[in-house]
């Protein structure tokens, strides 16, 4: 019996070792007979932003918390009505934060004196018609919005643009490999490996509050979408002979 147990244990160990070895060689690395060349290339594509995002807030102050919240809620109802009337879809309006904080007077007193409360409600709003965003900012200010950050200009569906940048990166990697091969008196035989080092959307550029409020203070404030650059980086391994 002892001999059988030992034999079974050895057999299981052999099966486990065989499975591990099989797992290790399931994805064999290609054997390279020539010279290895590693190239990192960056591709890009350019698009005009089609969405403007702003953070619009209402800040109110009152002697009591309930009064500050009541006034804030009243103004926010007007803001929501203005957004609905402008055709802004519900999916493009999102509450970013709601805060209620006490205000104290700390000037030359042993104990701080409660002055009242500050209530704030912040919304994130996406405008799908950038050319109308400036007029919409004017309308929001008229409805009681007294805190604005933005706009940030974005591309709603960047996947196609990022794929274009990836193709551009691969094309540049091939051209660079051909350049090296020609300089070395060799030729490109094949691509051994490809990996994406990263793909990046453009950073969201957002104006500060003072700049935004200055802009909406002028009737018919205009937002220029400009152009954004999307990039993709690839690492490609070539074999030269």
What pLDDT was estimated at residue 17? 46
165 pLDDT exceeds 80? yes
Beta-ladder partners of 131: none
Domains and CATH numbers, the chain: 33-48+157-206+224-241 (3.30.110.170), 51-154 (3.30.70.2970)
What pLDDT was estimated at residue 19? 44
Residue with the bigger pLDDT between 195 and 199: it is 195
What pLDDT was estimated at residue 131? 79
23 — phi, psi (to 5°)? -65, -35
Interval 16-31: pLDDT, tens: 444 444 344 445 656 7
Which residues lie closer than 8 Å to 151 by C-beta, 6 or more apart?
Answer: 52, 53, 54, 127, 133, 137, 206, 207, 212, 223
Predicted TM-score (pTM) above 0.85: no
151 pLDDT exceeds 60? yes
CA dist list (Å): 168 to 39, 68, 115, 234:
14, 55, 61, 10
Interval 49-67: pLDDT, tens: 988 898 999 999 999 999 9
Confidence label for 37 from pLDDT (cuts 50, 70 and 90): very high
Interval 90-132: pLDDT, tens: 899 999 999 999 998 888 767 888 899 999 999 999 988 887 7
32 pLDDT exceeds 90? no
Confidence label for 209 from pLDDT (cuts 50, 70 and 90): very low
Residues 170-196: what's their mean pLDDT? 95
What pLDDT was estimated at residue 203? 55
* Token pair recorded at residue 117: 């409360």
What pLDDT was estimated at residue 202? 64
What pLDDT was estimated at residue 138? 84
Please tell me what DSSP assigns to residue 227: -
Q: How far is Cα 33 from Cα 227, in angstroms, rounded to an integer? A: 46
Count CB-CB contacts under 10 A for residue 135: 17
What DSSP assignment string belongs to 87-102?
T--GGGEEEEEEEEEE
pLDDT cut 70: percent of the chain above it: 77
């Amino acid at each position: 019996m002892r001999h059988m147990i030992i034999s079974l244990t050895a057999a299981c160990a052999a099966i486990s070792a065989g499975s591990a070895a099989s797992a290790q060689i399931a994805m064999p690395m290609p054997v390279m007979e020539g010279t290895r060349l590693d190239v990192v290339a960056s591709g890009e594509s350019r698009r005009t932003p089609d969405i403007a995002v702003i953070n619009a807030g209402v800040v109110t102050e009152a002697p009591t918390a309930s009064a500050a919240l009541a006034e804030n809620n009243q103004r926010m109802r007007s803001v929501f009505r203005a957004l609905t009337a402008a055709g802004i879809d519900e999916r493009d309006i999102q509450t970013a934060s709601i805060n209620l904080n006490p205000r104290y007077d700390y000037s030359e007193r042993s104990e701080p004196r409660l002055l009242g409360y500050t209530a704030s409600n912040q919304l994130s709003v996406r405008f799908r018609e950038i050319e109308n965003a400036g007029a919409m900012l004017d309308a929001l200010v008229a409805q009681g919005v007294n805190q604005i950050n933005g706009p940030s200009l974005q591309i709603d569906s960047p996947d196609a643009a990022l794929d274009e940048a990836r193709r551009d990166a691969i094309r540049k990697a091939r051209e660079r490999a051909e350049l090296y091969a020609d300089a070395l008196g060799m030729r490109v035989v094949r691509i051994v490996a490809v990996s994406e080092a990263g793909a990046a959307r453009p950073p969201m550029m957002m104006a500060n509050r003072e700049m935004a409020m200055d802009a909406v203070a002028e009737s018919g404030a205009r937002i220029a979408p400009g152009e954004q650059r999307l990039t993709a980086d690839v690492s490609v391994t070539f074999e030269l002979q």
